[in-house]
Structure 1
Amino acid sequence: MKKALKILGLLIAMVAAAWLVIFMWPVKARPERAFYRADDPEVLVIAHRGGRGLAPEGTLTAFDHAVSLGADVLEFDTHLTKDGHLVVIHDNTVDRTTNGTGKINEMTLEEVQDLDAGYQFTNEKDEYVFRDQGIYIPTVEEVFQKYPNMRFLIELKDTNAPEMYEEMIQELWHLIQNYQMEDNVMVGSFAHEINERFEEVSKGNIPIGAGEEEVRDFATKHVARLNGLAASNVDSLQLPTEGDGFDLTSKNIIQSAKARNISVYYWTINDKETMNELIDKKVNGIMTDYPDLLIEVLEERNE
């Protein structure tokens, strides 16, 4: 009996020691990135699709409004047209946001931009206030031309046709270099293969936002308190507040990410209570459809 207890005690001590080593193992920090500014506010106001609750998503109208409000970062998604132009749109079809139908990958830029991108938007009174205003789906090039000093979170959508991934990646990198936006963009995708390939093409010069695989790995290991086993191969975690039944806003996740020089942004937050909770937890940024609401929260906290 004494021998059995001794063996059990030894096993417990070994497990505890292994856990301690894993938990306390020194983490490798990501390099400093020019995307982050020394004078950044307490939390970055990130206009999700340009602030899709206030104006037609992913349009210059939405971006103009977000910039005028004082948003720090514009977030948008990209798809590639049949003739090789990167356009700003979340879906892989034009059906939900315009007066047309069809897949972006199967349409020319002219066909895409002939559509009314303000057609489906309704305000709080369910009024179609942006129809027939000349609003269209812009190219990424137009966005870079119009807002050379803004920062952007850009998602390379994995809903593009897989055979177009390489062209999409190469085109974005070309535009970033051509418009000297290297310090102003963070690029990511839900697909690990797209993230990995873009980082390879850009030679690691652009900060990378975590994809689904990276987020799951980081969050799962932190929920299990295996912090030291979590990878540090991205520059930003862009998270929902919960996933698979777990709280993804825990201090363990946020503080561990920051120790690795990984910024933590949460999406899509549209209520004051959650905004305040996240600010209290020292997150780096909040993505919202209502940048005016987040700015109001920040102003109230500074009164």
Structure 2
Amino acid sequence: MNKRRVIILICFLVQIVVSHSQAQHNQLPKTKNKVVLIAHRGNHVLVPENTVASTKEAISAGVDYVEVDLRTTRDGYLVALHDATVDRTTNGQGKVSEMTLSQVEALQVFNRNKKTLRIPQFHEILEVCKGKINIYLDFKDADPEKTWKQIKVAGMEHQVIVYINKKEQYGEWKKVAPNLPLMTSLPENVKTEAELNQFLDHFKVEVVDNVTNPEFLKVLRNRKIQVWLDVQSPTEGPQKWQEALDRGAEGIQTDKPGELVRYIRNNNP
């Protein structure tokens, strides 16, 4: 075999390896809607966010995922809470990381509809979701090993995607659960296609959120990485939903899960 053929063969093999590596993704949880639909903090417009009740309402709405924010109490229990403090959503004050589980569970969770509930432990959310809805786990402040253990005990290994908030969380999750699908946002310093490819070469994720740049979308589609868009806001409605669909979003996170499900089914059969 002459030198020219050897070079051509090497280039061909390198291309195959690169293409193969780009195509390797962990399997996302099964979904039922044409577009992946996520209830932001549960159906929290109807009932308090990140509670068992808002999770049940998300299931009733017919979406594919319920978003759950995860934090840890001072004594090491995993609880569903968005903020670092309990000030906004409960009748208490202080950082959840400085409170014991008994202190956290004694609080009343409320919102504008005046219903009062409590902050649930993560295992309670898992039990409600099993076989009914997937979990989009917004990993705020918790231990991946302890979290994965609870996921396995609940039999939810194939019903969870983890949203990575910090760079170090990526390595921790890859070590603990290498086959679990991961999601993240693009760093602010990713400004070019080359920088995007470099980032994706180091962080093997299945989903990124809120990308609308056409060139970036092309890169992500070539790599078989899904894009999920956040449309949740007090003013969200058909216009924003259709804009997300027109952009080709594979997933949409919403504050109005029931209405969005109906819109998708009626307008995008």
Q: Distance in 1 between matches of 2:170 and 2:197?
A: 23
SS of residue paired to 1:90: coil
Residue 258 (structure 1) shift? 2.6
Residue 215 (structure 1) shift? 4.1
- Is the contact between residue 29 and residue 134 of structure 2 (CA under 8 Å) also seen in structure 1? no
Larger Rg, first or second structure (1 or 2): 1
Structure 2 residue 226 is the aligned partner of structure 1 residue 263:
yes
- Is the contact between residue 221 and residue 229 of structure 1 (CA under 8 Å) also seen in structure 2? no
Which 10-residue stretch deviates more, 93-102 or 28-37?
28-37
Q: Distance in 2 between matches of 1:117 and 1:288?
A: 21
Corresponding position of 1:60:
52
Compared with structure 1, are the counterparts of its residues 148 and 260 closer, same or farther at alpha carbon in structure 2 (3 Å cutoff)?
same
Residue 228 (structure 1) shift? 4.8
Any runs of at least 4 consecutive aligned residues in structure 1 with deviations exceeding 6 A, and if so which? none
Q: Distance in 1 between matches of 2:263 and 2:191?
A: 31
SS of residue paired to 1:254: helix
Corresponding position of 2:99:
107
Mapping 1:84-99, distance limit 5 Å: 84-99=76-91
Q: Which amino acid aligns with 1:148?
A: K
Normalising by structure 2, we get a TM-score of 0.83
- Is the contact between residue 254 and residue 283 of structure 1 (CA under 8 Å) also seen in structure 2? no
Compared with structure 1, are the counterparts of its residues 40 and 220 closer, same or farther at alpha carbon in structure 2 (3 Å cutoff)?
farther
Corresponding position of 1:130:
115
Q: Which amino acid aligns with 2:224?
A: N
Corresponding position of 1:139:
121
Once the two structures are superposed, residues 110-151 of structure 1 have per-residue CA deviations (whole angstroms, 9 ceiling, x without a partner) of 111111112xx11xxxxx4313xxx11111111111221221
Corresponding position of 1:34:
27
Q: Which amino acid aligns with 2:215?
A: N
Residue 31 (structure 1) shift? 2.8
Partner residue of 2:179 out of 168, 191, 205: 205
Percent identity between the two aligned chains = 27
- Is the contact between residue 94 and residue 101 of structure 1 (CA under 8 Å) also seen in structure 2? yes
Q: Distance in 2 between matches of 1:74 and 1:287?
A: 9
Q: Distance in 2 between matches of 1:226 and 1:189?
A: 19
Corresponding position of 1:154:
137
- Is the contact between residue 231 and residue 240 of structure 2 (CA under 8 Å) also seen in structure 1? no
**Structure 1: segments with no counterpart, 5+ residues:** 1-24, 123-127, 240-247
- Is the contact between residue 81 and residue 104 of structure 1 (CA under 8 Å) also seen in structure 2? yes
Residue 227 (structure 1) shift? 6.0
Corresponding position of 2:72:
80
Corresponding position of 1:231:
200
Corresponding position of 1:181:
156
Compared with structure 1, are the counterparts of its residues 30 and 236 closer, same or farther at alpha carbon in structure 2 (3 Å cutoff)?
farther
- Is the contact between residue 113 and residue 138 of structure 1 (CA under 8 Å) also seen in structure 2? yes
Superposition CA RMSD, Å: 2.3
Once the two structures are superposed, residues 33-77 of structure 1 have per-residue CA deviations (whole angstroms, 9 ceiling, x without a partner) of 33243x643211100111322321101111111111101101111
Mapping 1:249-260, distance limit 5 Å: 249-260=212-223
Corresponding position of 1:116:
108
Q: Which amino acid aligns with 1:109?
A: L
